[in-house]
Amino acid sequence: MAIVSKVLVIGGSGYIGKYIVEASVKNGHQTYALLREQTFSQPHIQDYFLRLGVHLIHRFIPSEYGMDVSRARVNAIGPAKSLFEAKMVIRQAIEKERIPFTIVCSNYFARICIPYLFQYDIQSSTMDHAIIFGDGTSKAIFSMEEDIATYTMKTINDPRTINKIVHIRPDGNIYSSNQLLSLWENKIGNTVSCKYITEEQLLKDIQDESDALNKLILAVAYSSFVKGDQTNFDLEPSIDVEATKLYPEVKHTTVDEYLDHLAATSSCNTN
């Protein structure tokens, strides 16, 4: 029987935070959510969490979800480098104080990245067009948000994850941009219009981009899809563990299965 604990989710109303909160409640943990002041004041947010039985706390600290910043910061540029370094400051402070920790590196959220085929202008994106950064051969990792939440909850009270970095790296969810695009084209039986952006052009686009969010997205894309910072290193047993190896009983959704769902949905919308 799983041990019930008190779980504090920092940024519980954020994109991945909501999945983590729900997974914590479903696992029977006494769950608390830390929220930003402006988020805390929104009645629908408060109502949603109160219905789940979540205790709300007014405060905010940055989250760690994403790629392994200790490795990715080496090649990072611009706002991505600043973001990664800020996360490293928190990591180092925790380690300095000898506070037991578990860091979860989830890499890309499938629902955010895959349906837009790497286009960062989501408002005007469709799956009949793709943008490929670099030569399209660097591999990235894509996991469903529910699976990320499930694996995260599994680490609670697991002594194997204490003072470790837990990498969510399902074998069936590691793809290069070219591979992912080819898989999608096979699903829909059609060719997708594709634009390749060279490393040099991407660096220029990052420099010229005026929108802060787009600038950050492009800088992270440079790290992931040009430098391969999600997959260009081997896990070290002294500091790293892999989620699917620790918890083989979890049935995660593969990219292939998710694309089947997207293809079926796209077909329904067309007909």
Q: What is the pTM of this model?
A: 0.80
Comma-separated ranges of CATH 3.50.50.60 domains in the chain: 1-63
The tally of CA atoms less than 13 A away on the side-chain side of residue 226 is 20
pLDDT of 123 over the 60 cut? no
pLDDT at 199: 97
Does residue 268 or residue 118 have the better pLDDT? 118
CA distances from 194 to 2, 116, 183, 185, 188 (A): 48, 12, 14, 11, 15
Does residue 6 or residue 249 have the better pLDDT? 249
Q: What is the CATH topology of the domain spanning 64-270?
A: UDP-galactose 4-epimerase; domain 1 (3.90.25)
Between β-strands 174-176 and 139-143, what pairing exists: parallel, antiparallel or unpaired?
Answer: antiparallel
pLDDT at 115: 85
CATH for 1-63 is 3.50.50.60
pLDDT at 61: 45
Mean pLDDT in the chain? 88
pLDDT at 14: 82
pLDDT at 155: 93
Q: What's the whole-number mean pLDDT along residues 154-160? A: 92
Does residue 63 or residue 255 have the better pLDDT? 255
Which residue numbers are catalytic? Answer: 87
Grouping H, G, I as helix, E, B as strand and the rest as coil, residue 248 is: coil
pLDDT at 40: 66
pLDDT at 78: 93
Model confidence pLDDT, tens digit, residues 13-72: 888 888 999 999 999 999 988 877 677 677 887 888 888 999 887 674 445 668 999 999
Comma-separated ranges of CATH 3.90.25.10 domains in the chain: 64-270
Rounded-to-integer distance, Cα 112 and Cα 151, Å: 19
Model confidence pLDDT, tens digit, residues 97-107: 888 889 999 99
Model confidence pLDDT, tens digit, residues 212-231: 988 998 999 999 999 999 99
In the chain, how long is the greatest CA-to-CA distance?
A: 59
Assigned token pair, 6: 């008190």
- Residue 183: phi and psi, rounded to 5, are -65, -40
Q: What's the whole-number mean pLDDT along residues 170-191? A: 94
